[in-house]
Structure 1
Amino acid sequence: MTDTLSIIIVEPDRDRALPIVDSLRAAGSFDIHVISDPTWLARQIEERRPDVVLIDLANPSRDILEELAVASGPLERPVAMFVDSSDEGLSAAAIEAGVSAYVVDGMQPSRVKPVLDAAIARFRMFQRMRTELAETKRALEERKVIDRAKGMIMKARGVDEGEAYVILRKAAMNQNKRVADVAAALVLSAGLLG
């Protein structure tokens, strides 16, 4: 995110939007754009590429949540949704769509900045978790490939697991590659030959 946050406020009612804009301007330096028509929300978010999206709707529809999910907005930026009332299914759908903060009882100007800060913090936490999960999955997949390659070397050369790893590591060093990359190449080659 940049030093000056760009914020889209989705608020169909101009009289409700103005106090929100004023509250944000009083709280800091933000680049604020108000969207009064939530139709084609995904397209509007994609065009503007804001740092944060604040949505204030009396009765949000599942269509708006689908628009958010289609835009991948919640995966790219914090989204805070303020609603006047909610049912259990809608709040769960909002969380599944990736909404960082879901506040019932509307957007009150005095609460906008603290909720904005919380949404950003929660978004960053989930972003770190997604990154760590992806890295863990990648490491696990690499480990599986290395184990398969070691098994192939053990069978072909009649060596134990430790020696197979030494052979694999030496080949990686000689080729100036990662052990996982050499193991993947070996497994792929064996698959083509077998």
Structure 2
Amino acid sequence: MAQKLRITILESDPERARMIVDGLCDAGDFTITVLGNETSLNQRLSELDPHVVLVDIANPSRDTLESLSLSSGANKRPVAMFVDRSDPELTKAAIDAGLSAYVVDGLTKNRIKPILDAAIARFNMVSQIRNERDAAKAALAERKTIDRAKGLLIAAKGISEEEAYALLRKTAMNQGRKTADIAHALVTASELLK
């Protein structure tokens, strides 16, 4: 059985909070927690560990956005923010803070679930892109280390590039390690011997 989606709502106005809760309850079965203020937000969100954070702030400041980004872990979970007015600087700050959805003057009961779905989908897409980027960076770093190690072997043993790579691979297989790990050890050792 799938775990219920845990949603934390940050809303100081009880009437608006009730409308958000009602919109979510009409759309599905969620575990919902409402926080009435930003006091100890980081600690509360850490304790609650929600899957999604919904924020309704009439006029957010840059400090609020930064605090929300840091405390909610916008890179860790989808965060959707509802605001009452449009401001290009605040919109940019919201995007820079990593919010998954920034909705201006759009808080109505029937729009909450579609916005929640869009925020989750956008968060998942950005997370996938971030993971692919990180994997590509790691692969490039490994490739550079292997190339440096091959260069060291070529210089030290007078062998070809293919032979240097084959030696790295053979050593890795004999030790049950990755070729990049052997290359890293060789590069580190050579730097120590300088």
Which residue of 2 is the match for residue 125 of structure 1?
125
Which residue of 2 is the match for residue 43 of structure 1?
43
Work out the CA distance in 2 between the residues paired with 1:23 and 1:122: 21
| Secondary structure of 2:183's aligned partner | helix
The within-5 A match list for 1:1-194 is 3-194=3-194
- For the aligned residues, what is the CA RMSD? 1.2
CA contact (8 A) 2:69 2:99 kept: no
| Secondary structure of 2:188's aligned partner | helix
Count how many residue pairs are aligned between Structure 1 and Structure 2.
193
CA contact (8 A) 2:59 2:85 kept: yes
Deviation at 1:91, TM superposition (A): 0.7
What is the identity, as a one-letter code, of the residue corresponding to 2:174? Answer: N
- CA displacement, residues 71-94 of structure 1 (integer Å, 9 cap, x when unaligned): 252111100000010210101101
- CA displacement, residues 98-144 of structure 1 (integer Å, 9 cap, x when unaligned): 10000000411110000000000000111111111111111100000
| Secondary structure of 2:74's aligned partner | helix
CA contact (8 A) 1:85 1:105 kept: yes
| Secondary structure of 1:85's aligned partner | coil
What is the identity, as a one-letter code, of the residue corresponding to 1:57? Answer: I
Work out the CA distance in 1 between the residues paired with 2:3 and 2:118: 17
Query: For structure 1, which runs of at least 5 residues remain unmatched after alignment?
Result: none
CA contact (8 A) 2:72 2:79 kept: no
| Secondary structure of 1:74's aligned partner | coil
Query: For structure 2, which runs of at least 5 residues remain unmatched after alignment?
Result: none
Work out the CA distance in 1 between the residues paired with 2:9 and 2:30: 12
TM-score, normalising length: structure 2: 0.95
Identical columns (%): 54
Q: Which of structure 1's runs of 4+ aligned residues deviate more than 3 A?
A: none
CA contact (8 A) 1:41 1:64 kept: no
Relative to structure 1, is the Cα distance of residues 140 and 69 closer, same or farther in structure 2, using a 3 angstrom cutoff? Answer: same
- CA displacement, residues 140-178 of structure 1 (integer Å, 9 cap, x when unaligned): 000000000000010111111111111111111111111
CA contact (8 A) 2:45 2:72 kept: no
CA contact (8 A) 1:59 1:86 kept: no
CA contact (8 A) 1:59 1:83 kept: yes
TM-score, normalising length: structure 1: 0.95
